[in-house]
């Protein structure tokens, strides 16, 4: 988005600092064992930040491995990354020849999540001349997608009976990596070690972003980082990470409510004015993905000062108590990010809303323009 078009926008803007993204990649790399690689998880359009710019920046930083959720996302990512390794977490959407051909055409690796999926893929291969590369995802305790541990013998038998399979990696997903005291982490690691023992000389992966910072000796061949690359650390243990995302809006109008006959603000009069009050109306609302749960409880930054949201957040606007500080129509307001040394971190905003930062990021609507910056310049 150009500066000229940005000036014409009266809604919110998501500003993404690509230099901070590159910096975070290096920080995460520095916490790992020398031979351990980083796989970037860029599902849901890189957490809503725009997969093209994010992927190209990470590639230049040295990233060679990528995960997305769906075949469609993988095909999109391949447009920008011609030679990188791309894996599809949800596996094939259907086990038909056309889908197989799409995986082969775009050189995408399906993650196989059940014995039935494995056998269906092997059946497809009987019609093909070439071998196929897959990843095997075992469920060690997440109880979501994944091959149950007790199916290990059956998996080995199916692979042995097929001469057309190459196993790229063995992987699993931690359920409670953000809680280093949770016994589930130890149980999952022990099960994972038992599984990978049966697949010598194969790449292995267990750690997500939380595990990278929170758990020791979970690195294996590569880690899978999504939110961590964007400066999100649920445990807030790695203070070296830089915030990549800012959510901004402009003041549309300033209102002095001292002489107004109705002493309340917004729908259903949920905020009552007990004395004179000045509010700023911002051009952003829940249709843009800003959580409506933050009505009467969220905060924003105006000229580096925290100011409270008052009244119900509307579809396209929200109202803020600005006291008697100087402010003007068109002034920039920070809903997430930094301003004059003050900061609202995505994790902090998520805490106010009673959710997680990943939901906050992926909920920001596409009508909010994404602006990319390098070295603090567009």
Residues designated as active site = 43, 267
Report which DSSP code applies to 37: E
Residues 6+ positions from 364 with CB-CB distance below 8 Å = 14, 48, 247, 288, 289, 290
> Secondary structure of the chain: what % helix, strand, coil (to 5)?
35, 25, 40
Pairing type for strands 165-171 and 222-225 reads unpaired
Q: Which two tokens stand for residue 344?
A: 């609202």
Find the helix packing angle between 18-31 and 51-61, rounded to 10°. Answer: 50
Residues 285 and 335: beta-carbon distance below 8 Å: no
Phi and psi, residue 95, nearest 5°:
-100, 70
H-helix segments, the chain: 3-8, 18-31, 43-48, 51-61, 71-78, 97-105, 115-125, 152-161, 183-197, 209-214, 346-353, 357-362
Count of Cβ atoms closer than 10 Å to residue 242 Cβ = 15
Residues 116 and 148: beta-carbon distance below 8 Å: no
Question: Number of C-alpha atoms within 13 angstroms, CB side, residue 320?
Answer: 31
Going by C-alpha positions, the residue among 56, 59, 34, 88 that lies closest to residue 222 is 34
Rg (CA), the chain: 24
Spatial distance between the Cα atoms of 334 and 315, rounded to a whole number of angstroms = 18
């Amino acid at each position: 988005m150009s500066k000229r078009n940005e000036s014409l926008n009266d809604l919110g803007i998501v500003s993404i600092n690509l230099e901070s993204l590159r910096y975070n990649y290096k920080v995460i790399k520095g916490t790992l064992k020398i031979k351990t690689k980083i796989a970037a998880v860029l599902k849901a359009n890189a957490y809503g930040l725009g997969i093209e710019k994010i992927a190209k920046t990470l590639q230049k930083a040295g990233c060679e491995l990528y995960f997305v959720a769906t075949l469609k996302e993988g095909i999109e990512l391949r447009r920008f990354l011609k030679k990188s390794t791309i894996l599809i977490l949800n596996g094939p959407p259907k086990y038909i020849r056309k889908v197989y051909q799409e995986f082969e055409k775009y050189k995408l690796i399906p993650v196989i999540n059940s014995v039935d999926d494995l056998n269906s893929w092997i059946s497809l291969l009987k019609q093909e001349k070439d071998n196929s590369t897959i990843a095997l995802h075992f469920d060690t305790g997440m109880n979501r997608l994944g091959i149950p541990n007790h199916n290990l013998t059956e998996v080995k038998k199916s692979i042995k009976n097929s001469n057309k399979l190459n196993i790229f990696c063995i992987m699993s997903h931690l359920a409670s990596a953000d809680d280093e005291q949770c016994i589930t982490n130890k149980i999952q690691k022990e099960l994972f070690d038992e599984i990978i023992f049966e697949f010598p000389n194969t790449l292995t992966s267990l750690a997500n972003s939380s595990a990278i910072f929170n758990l020791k000796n979970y690195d294996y061949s590569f880690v899978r980082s999504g939110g961590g690359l964007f400066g999100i650390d649920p445990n807030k243990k790695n203070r070296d990470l830089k915030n990549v995302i800012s959510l901004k809006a402009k003041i549309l109008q300033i209102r002095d409510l001292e002489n107004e006959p109705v002493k309340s603000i917004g729908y259903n009069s949920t905020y009552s004015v007990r004395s004179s009050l000045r509010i700023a109306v911002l051009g952003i609302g829940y249709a843009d993905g800003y959580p409506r749960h933050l009505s009467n409880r969220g905060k924003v930054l105006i000229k580096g000062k925290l100011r409270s949201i008052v009244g119900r957040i509307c579809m396209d606007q929200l109202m803020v108590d600005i006291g008697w500080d100087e402010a003007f129509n068109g002034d920039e307001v920070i809903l997430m990010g930094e301003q004059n040394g003050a900061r609202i971190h995505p994790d902090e905003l998520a805490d106010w809303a009673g959710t997680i930062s990943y939901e906050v990021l992926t909920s920001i609507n596409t009508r909010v323009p994404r602006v990319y910056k390098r070295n603090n310049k567009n």
